[in-house]
Amino acid sequence: MELSIDVQSLKPLSSCIPTVSTRLNWNDYQGAIKVRWGIGRNHYTVVPGLYKVGNPDSQSDVYVSANYKLSFDVLRKNLCSFNTWILVIDTKGINVWCAAGKGTFGTDNLVNSIKKTDLAHIVKHNKIILPQLGAVGVSAHKVREQSGFRVIYGPVRAKDIKPFVQAGYKATPEMRKVGFPFLERIKLIPVDMMGERYKLLISMLILFIISGLDRKGFLFSKMIETSLFPLIYIVSAYIAGIVIAPIFLPIIPFRPFALKGAFWGVISAIIMMQFIHVSLLETISFCILSKSVASFMTMNFTGSSTYTSLSGVKKEMKWAIPFQIAFTAISLMLFILSKLS
């Protein structure tokens, strides 16, 4: 029995690859706004695999992206007028820079993705272009040894891809520079605020309960009557650390983020003292608490900043967190004493 095959019915491998637009639609922008506020952030992903932009052929470039949709959208938006390929690797929905640090945007994952998509049979060249921020997680020589593909590191910002290509795949010093300007810092504030909201609510609940403390015990009526000022203090400290400090990050004195936050915590407490008049002991406790809360909130921003390194963050945490815990404990004890005096 002979097996006959209709050669005309066979389609090239590339015909099965989905095509993506370089123009973002309303759903893309709406999704971006939501994740900026921490809504559905852990599930904002793209299916890993190979995608087409325009009408690429076997000689077209291959750009690599994380499967975090925000990263993917920024890349494809800046590939307008290109005929190219996008290789999306599974970073568990984490952006390139963070995924590189965590190991999901790494050598093994990249090599596996190249083999899984059969990239060597789709393109006839041997180069792939990676975002520069993924360099920390990828060993270029190992990728070439294991897959045959040569790694080229593109610019930091996707908007520089076109001049990068036009310059013969060479980046200028400015393209290699990682900045953290005002607008980028502002974008990160909402997600940090939402991510830490439960800590704020727990802190407010603790202060609300302590506000009802009396020599006779806890009085709910006293909680209602006296908790307003403590709650205002804790909210102002929270805003100082997670909003004000990032806005003025480059011009705040002190290098450690913990001290930058503590600085604005003190400023916040001084401002509150002008409008809120309570006992001396309670005022001192609030001042200490404001400094500790703002310090901790700003230190959390180290994970979003380009001003820090992993070793530097670990070093800062070792000395800062014990102080923050100690100051918080002291402030709460003084607050309790103010209620019992």
Q: 235 is written with which tokens?
A: 């909210």
Per-residue pLDDT of 114-165, as tens digits, reads: 999 999 999 999 999 999 999 989 999 999 999 999 999 999 999 999 999 9
Cα–Cα dist 46/29, whole Å = 15
Sequence-distant (6+) residues with CB within 8 A of 197 are none
| CA 251/CA 77 separation, integer angstroms | 33
Determine the Cα–Cα distance for residues 234 and 227; give it in Å rounded to an integer: 11
Of all helices (H) and strands (E), which one includes residue 128? Answer: strand 127-130
Cα separation of 251 and 185, whole Å? 13
Convert the pLDDT of each residue in 2-35 to its tens digit: 333 333 433 455 568 999 999 999 999 999 999 9
The residues near 188 (Cβ < 8 Å, ≥ 6 apart) are 246, 301, 304
Domains of the chain in sequence order: 7-176 (3.40.50.11600), 182-340 (no CATH)
Which pTM does this prediction carry?
0.81
Q: Distance from CA of residue 149 to its chain's centroid? A: 30
Q: How far from 52 is each of 28, 123, 149, 288, CA to CA, in Å?
A: 18, 12, 19, 56
The DSSP code for 118 is: T
- Give dist(CA 249, CA 52) in Å, integer: 40
pLDDT digits (tens, 9 = 90+) for 64-105: 999 999 999 999 999 998 999 999 999 999 999 888 888 899
